[in-house]
Structure 1
Amino acid sequence: MDFNSLIQHPEVLLLVLAPIFFVCIMLEWYLGDRGNKLPQNARYHLPEVACNFALAGMHQLTDILAGLFIASLYLQVFDWRLFDIQMTLATFVVLMIAQDFCYYWFHRASHRVRWMWAAHVAHHSSENMNFSTAFRQSLTYPLAGMWVFWLPLVIVGFDPNWVVFVVLLNLGLQFFVHTQAVKTLGILEWVFNTPSHHRVHHGRNPQYIDKNYAGILIIWDKMFGTFEPEKQTVVYGITKPVNSFNPLVVTFSEWRDMFSEAFQANLSWKQRLKILFLPPRTHQDK
């Protein structure tokens, strides 16, 4: 597939990058499991790896199907664009930065709005951290509203195909921060999201919860007060463990719990809406 075809069909970008991902997984597995050079919670355990791959497949299939609707919506919105932006190297860089800014707010909302957390929690539910953790995604992201956060880019005047391409490129680059094989990256830690920063994001240590939402640039966390450096050893996972390697359980357990709480008897509509849309740990405040 040439580059022009890829831009016309950006939804396949992650599939194109898949061989690189698999090579990294095999190298990390060999280094950690065979070389015994990584901590226990970086090891590869077959039931979890199988779950992660199943989640990735379900997510990819849903993204392609939902993409048909989302692409149609983006094209309709594009008719109302404010500017006609031609893609050059300079505008591509601007789009990458603008998309990364939008990603920060999407990611932050995914932790602070329970409706969105119900989709995102699948990614955080592993108590291990290795490259396969990046595959741990939810098929319910379209339902949670992820696509809404890229609409401003289309409204401004960026071509929808380029917007989707950059969104998926951002996600593809984030694969490489899901590892314990890299400790620090020196001066790059000041500007970019790195494995160290992202390990913090996956921690359930009290000081690490809801920190480091960055996609590519860590500057957003530093600007908006959500940055936390990696100091204490990270304990991975969530405060309410799923305790399952069944991809359907991992995907839907929080949706089930959320709806069960929201539609119990004798609650007002205000209380129900709070359960659905307040942050996960404070949703029970009345």
Structure 2
Amino acid sequence: NPTVFAGNKLFYEDRGMLMENLLRVIQEIYTSPFNLMLVTGFVLAEWLVAAQYVNRRVHLALDVLGFTAGMLFIPIIYSFLREVKEYAASMNWAAILEGMQTLPAWAKLALCALCIDFTGYWAHRAMHHFPCLWATHRWHHSIEQLYWFSGFRASFFQILILGIPQIVFPFLVFRMTLLEAAIAMGIINFLQFWKHANIRVPWGPLEGLFVTPHYHSIHHKRGQDQHHNFGFMFTIWDRLFSTRLPSRQLARPFAMGLTPPQKTTVWRMILGV
């Protein structure tokens, strides 16, 4: 079998083993030199051009707890998603999907990003609209100070819900190779750091298309403003469906986090129930 390079290890490009191999890639992404450089870059950027003062030590324990829980959740969730993939793969969609599966790698990555972001937008919006789904997202909105590491607070069920399109589109719709899927996961990891970073930079027209830290910070503002700016990668969905709140309309700094009182516990929020 041909091999591809990912995370300093060789993996066989065996489509039957893509899920298992991708899980290993994800685990390696977080321990690779690339991720270390990424973390170092964001730490330096926040030190040099911080948007506002952040006392990381106050919330570090919760942020570490959120990251650790997420790393423990991923293998469990991917086991479930593997079963979903196997069931969906048994359906005869070949004729419908053949054209998309033969696209060049760059086109598959671009279209896959749009599809994941579009479905992620609606899943994210639903989490804010329905009380039962808000329980899955509340842990993420417990963040009171945004910086690169804080964005990893995600409940078990939030990771599961948002993980479905991240499996369906790369593996079932576009039939990505392991290398293409690893690149996609690397981009998702970067965006997780990026949009939660505490960085003050004049973004200019960039914010007209892409989600920036400045743009996403409004989503974490305490109160009704947090029901805006749902996009993960692109701002176009917020523009199309009237959920965009321009950052220039708000005075900074502003309070972030959940509006008290919250009748729940940290452990329930981590699980998303």
TM-score if structure 1 supplies the norm length?
Answer: 0.72
Q: Does 1:251 align with 2:270?
A: yes
Q: Which moved more, 1:4-13 or 1:102-111?
A: 4-13
Instruction: Please say if residues 97 and 173 of structure 2, whose CA atoms lie closer than 8 Å, have aligned partners that are also in contact.
Output: yes
Deviations 1:169-217 (A, max 9, x none): 33541321112322431110111101111011111143x2210011111
Q: Return the match for 2:66 from 55, 69, 73.
A: 55
Name the aligned partner's letter for residue 11 of structure 2.
Answer: S
Q: Return the match for 1:78 from 71, 89, 104.
A: 89
Q: Return the match for 2:213 from 173, 195, 200.
A: 195
| Offset of residue 157 of structure 1 | 2.6
Match of 1:2 in 2: 5
**Alpha-carbon distance in 1 for matches of 2:171, 2:11:** 24
**Alpha-carbon distance in 1 for matches of 2:261, 2:44:** 29
Instruction: Please say if residues 77 and 154 of structure 1, whose CA atoms lie closer than 8 Å, have aligned partners that are also in contact.
Output: no
Q: Return the match for 2:192 from 174, 188, 193.
A: 174
Q: Does 1:106 align with 2:123?
A: yes
Name the aligned partner's letter for residue 237 of structure 2.
Answer: W
| Offset of residue 156 of structure 1 | 6.7
**Alpha-carbon distance in 1 for matches of 2:152, 2:12:** 21
Change (3 A) 1:59 1:87: farther
Specify every segment of 5 or more residues in structure 2 that has no aligned partner in the other structure, as ranges: none
Match of 1:159 in 2: 175
**Alpha-carbon distance in 2 for matches of 1:21, 1:249:** 31
| Offset of residue 238 of structure 1 | 1.5
Specify every segment of 5 or more residues in structure 1 that has no aligned partner in the other structure, as ranges: 256-286
| Offset of residue 27 of structure 1 | 2.3
Instruction: Please say if residues 55 and 137 of structure 1, whose CA atoms lie closer than 8 Å, have aligned partners that are also in contact.
Output: yes
CA root-mean-square deviation: 3.3
Deviations 1:82-104 (A, max 9, x none): 31313522122111111111111
Q: Return the match for 2:113 from 96, 99, 104.
A: 96
Q: Which moved more, 1:124-133 or 1:159-168?
A: 159-168
Instruction: Please say if residues 125 and 242 of structure 1, whose CA atoms lie closer than 8 Å, have aligned partners that are also in contact.
Output: no
Q: Which moved more, 1:103-112 or 1:222-231?
A: 103-112
The 3-state SS of whatever aligns with 2:154 is coil
| Offset of residue 115 of structure 1 | 2.2
**Alpha-carbon distance in 1 for matches of 2:123, 2:41:** 27
TM-score if structure 2 supplies the norm length?
Answer: 0.75
| Offset of residue 24 of structure 1 | 3.9
